[in-house]
Amino acid sequence: MSQSTDLINLDTLAQELATIQQTGSKRIALLGSRHVPITHQNLIEMMTYALVLSGNRIITSGATGTNSAAIKGATRADANLLTVILPQSLERQPLESRQQLEQVMHLVENSSNDNLSLAEASYLCNKEIVSRCQQLICFAFHDSCTLLQTCQDAEEQRKVVTLFYFD
């Protein structure tokens, strides 16, 4: 049993090393809390801007806070390298998000989830986002259950996960 565990760890490490060393573009999912101070949003926007200028594709969702900052940064750098996947239809998004989302070129709506709670729809949306990425960057609080579960799911899929805590 120890040998198979060692192989899994070596496979995981090899995959993470290959992703980190990859010089070409990557598909990076960027997710995080809605409740983010403006200074943190500015940093997330700048980081996303730099990631896109480096040729990376950004995948995020449409919530306020972290995701909105990522959308701003990616759009400023190259709107074509941004994909936004919504947990529900555009009509179900908060009014303050809709105006920004209507400008996104690659917008995926999940109107089939309109009958679910936002928490359930967000979890399914995050799973879809993780399935499309090579790396996940997440900004969360220690009690952000949906985001922390998303990070765990991404790790189980052997994605490179970078988790930043606000608290």
Tens digit of pLDDT for each residue in 59-108? 999 989 999 999 999 999 999 999 999 999 999 998 888 999 999 999 99
Positions of E strands within the chain: 27-32, 57-60, 82-85, 106-108, 135-140, 160-165
Q: Compute the average pLDDT of residues 126-152.
A: 95
Q: Which two tokens stand for residue 12?
A: 């995981």
Instruction: Report whether pLDDT(126) > 90.
Output: yes
Q: What is the pLDDT of residue 141?
A: 94
For the stretch 1-50, pLDDT in tens is 444 444 555 666 666 566 656 667 899 999 999 999 999 999 999 999 99
Which position has the higher pLDDT, 53 or 17? 53
Q: What is the pLDDT of residue 9?
A: 58
Q: Would the pLDDT of 159 be above 80? A: yes
Interacting residues of 79 by C-beta distance below 8 A, sequence separation 6+ = 103, 104, 105
Q: Assess whether pLDDT exceeds 70 at residue 112.
A: yes
- Supply the pLDDT for residue 3: 45
